[in-house]
Structure 1
Amino acid sequence: MRAQLHPKQSERLAHLRELGILDTEAESQFDEVVDLASKICEVPISLISLVDETRQWFKARVGLDAPETDLDRSICSHVILQHDLVEIADTTRDVRTADNPLVVGDEHIRFYAGVPLLSDGGLPIGTLCVLDTEPRVLTDLQRTTLRVLGGQLMRQIELRLALHQAEVLRGEIDHRVKNSLQTVLSVVRMYKSRVDNAVAIEALSAVERRIDAVAMLHQELYQTSQSDRVALAPYLVRVASLLEASAPSNVRLDMNVCAVQVVSSTAANIGMIVSEFTANAIKHAFPDGRRGTVTISAELSADGATLQVHCRDDGIGNANPAEENEVTRLGQRLMQAAALQIGAEFTLEAQSDGYHLLMKMPMRAASSVGQAAE
């Protein structure tokens, strides 16, 4: 006997499609549910059956080879007309199932129990069901378990949709942020190309570096599953790579940053400091084609309570200090202010073997720590 259509069939099918779960690949969290249901109910077959317009499709299954069946073979299409667990102790004695091909055919199904998967609005999309080739009766514990598993399963399916929608929204926001940053960068570069004053060009270059650093931070935030924490090592590598691309062939960058996660505001300040130091070193530390290296390192103290960031170059140092201008002094003040914002001790010195910047900050903001990564 084929089941009647659900009274809210159109709405039910619309919600099923909205969930985006039909014809998706197998997922372990669903496979585990049917495996558990089969074992607890001591039956050979368990299914997560989604009742579509002309078929029932199995999101997860044990004990049955077919990935779907037509509705003429569907017992679950009867169950979605109910609001609670349906148990058929002997399928040959129930009018809904006595002539079902699964019962009279080679599958020899003699027992069925299923709980409808109901949305918050009460719309059923399918069932969690268990089947056997022998008549039987479930225990109270088995019935309760099926009801609980069905409820949890529906929450899991709806959470899956919510996460997908959040990812789509996040992607849209990411696209708009990227476009906005690119627009600002284009304006800065246009002004930079039309300015003759060296100090103004350097100031615009500093603004350009800061925007690039923000874009890199945004990229790291988008790629992580944690909303406000980023991995420091790949972020600093991204920031430095932009500067290295514009560096002359005689200057090399070397980075060794431990694997640590910090909140985005901390990463932004560290990124700005590293960016300013590296840009100044590239510009001033290696005159007349002198070969040299800018080294950036970040390491944790033995107790993991402090992060030490060391930026240094092996350039001319205090042997022939570059003439300072207002932009250079502003850059130094910005680095000091950035260090102050994250509660870090900050020193910047010109020594005989080059410039050295040392920053020590407490790691209360860190979320996880790993091994060193270069």
Structure 2
Amino acid sequence: MKSAPEHPRESERLALLDQFQIMDTEAEQTFDELTELASTICGTPISLISLVDHERQWFKSRVGLTASETPKSIAFCSHAILQDEVFTVNNALKDDRFADNPLVTGAPDIRFYAGAPLVSHDGLPLGTLCVIDQTAKSLTGEQTRALKILAKQVVSQLELRIKNRSLQKMNENREKVFSVIAHDLRGPFNSILGFSRRLTGKSDVMRPERITEMADSILNASMTVYQLLDELLQWSLQRMGAYNLNMRRQLLSHMVDADQKLLQDSLDVKNQTLRKNFSDALEVRADATLASVVLRNLISNAIKFSPPGSAIEVQAAEVGTMVEISVLDRGPGISPVLAEQLFKGPVESHLGTYGEYGHGIGLGLCYDFVKMQGGEIWLDRVGSSGSKITFSLPRAN
């Protein structure tokens, strides 16, 4: 028996097969009908839709066979996916590659095999639509052509599954964006409009301190809108697959300084300070845009929930092959109930110590962006003495 060699683009082929999320799924009528049709047209008692992964061939659909899979090493389909055309074995007993194959010497006693590769639009074979008989035989030209056409229909159905999943995901993302726009943007926009109208109509009779308070409120609301719109843009690009990751050496200190400049007005309004507790020479390997979104979101949350006059701290240290970066606030802390929801999706918004508006996608976005860069993010501390959220990024070297 001769096992088939690996496909020349085996790693790409397996990665593509994973994307289809088809392995070990339940039987589906669409595929079963195509398998039955192949068996009828080719006049064989057995017909299979066989998908070949790294160690087995698994049957998405089968006619005339009870087994759901076989080892890849003995699979006829492992040979078939290496071919551009239908792979045919007219009499396995007279073929050196298969004469002593367990599938020939024992059940299902294969003598005849014909497999049409299931080739994706990327030119990579996922498996085969094959027909099998216990008697040596040949297919006619019309039967061979029909088998190829049916194989293309199988691929079309597989790719349709991906498109349907993408459409469903796009609809879910669209609803999430609309929800954020409708709920989270309305509050700060109403604040900006309300305070602006009052300043426009009554600034000449207001006390200077009141004018300053209202100007600070407008600034806070504007910063919230800016941050939310920026996060929505980055989140949408990432979810649509339009973002190109650019991992490079980054000085962590420079990244924190850049985010502090953007958030300095918010710090000044609450008379807060931002402290860096790590070496100025510490470097990470990161995408500057994504890492900045994560840092800015965590620092912004710390500003929001920390009391006036408090200090917010950014800590960092090398741990093995990673750099762990923490943002500590002096706020009321995160309850155990809320802690369970963090990083799993949108969470309920809460007002900050100055009534700042929150929004639901921030930490979920942080989770996605950290994972994209090969790191992890977690809540380091739960309780009433402030919060500490830590995330990791690869070391620069």
In the superposition, the TM-score normalised over structure 2's length comes to 0.46
Question: Higher strand fraction: Structure 1 or Structure 2?
Answer: 1
In the superposition, the TM-score normalised over structure 1's length comes to 0.49
